[in-house]
Structure formats: structure tokens, C-alpha cells
Amino acid sequence: MSLSAFETPSSPESVHPVHGGRHPRRPDDSLLLTELDPQVLVDHLDGDVPVNLMTFGSVRETCPKCMHTHLHLILRQGNVRTAHLYCAECQSCFDAHYASGAPALTI
């Protein structure tokens, strides 16, 4: 699956707790999403030039901006500097970490 070039988010960086899912979560299981600037994550975002990115499927978390679209996992690859979650609806990028501060997208 490939996605078009990212657009710079119109809102400043913010942190959003993610809730929901089929199983009740413990407080330490909750993910916090921090909005990131796509220009920092992906090399060569030149306006109208499409960037082909490989996604690694949808995750259970939904976009805190759209409130209904499941986020896609984008891992490091060719021109992607950092693994992140991406919303194809509003073209926003997010980092995910646990309430303890531990990163959720590192291996």
C-alpha cells in the first residue's frame, strides 16, 4: 500500500490519550499519541511530488483528530526517518508511547 505525500498539520503538536478497544485496558496499557511534523519524519517532501510509503497495516488506535479513522503503522524505510502512526484521512502523523514514557514503536 502506498500513500501520497504528507501535508503539514495545521494544529500545533499535542498529546492525545487513546482509549477504546475490545478488551479493558489497565492504566499502564494506554497509549499516548503525540502529533509530529511530517517534514521531520520523511525526507524530500516537495509539495506536489508524491511519496510512496509502505504501510504495515492498520492498528487498533484511531486518529485523535478525525476520531474515526484507524491509524496505519509506518516503519523506517528508504526516506522515512522514524517509525510512526499515520492517518490517511487527515494526513497527520503521531508518535506513540505509554503513560510510563516508554516508546511503543521501537523494537
Q: Is residue 48 part of a domain?
A: yes
Q: Is residue 1 part of a domain?
A: no
Q: Is residue 10 part of a domain?
A: no
pLDDT at 95: 95
Cα angle at 71 between 79 and 55, to 5 degrees? 35
Q: Is residue 54 part of a domain?
A: yes
Q: Is residue 103 part of a domain?
A: no
Largest CA distance in the chain: 43
At residue 10, the 3 state secondary structure works out as: coil
Total structural domains within the chain: 1
Q: Is residue 84 part of a domain?
A: yes
Could you give the percent of the chain with pLDDT greater than 70? 64
pLDDT at 53: 77
Alpha carbons 31 and 33: distance in angstroms, whole number: 6
Q: Is residue 21 part of a domain?
A: yes
pLDDT 10s digit of each residue in the chain, 107 long?
A: 334 444 333 333 445 555 544 545 555 567 899 999 988 888 866 666 667 778 888 898 999 999 989 999 999 988 888 999 999 899 899 999 999 889 998 86
Domain extent at residue 91: 15-98
Q: What is the pTM of this model?
A: 0.68
Contact 96, 61 (CB under 8 A): yes
Q: Is residue 34 part of a domain?
A: yes
Q: What is the mean pLDDT of the chain?
A: 76
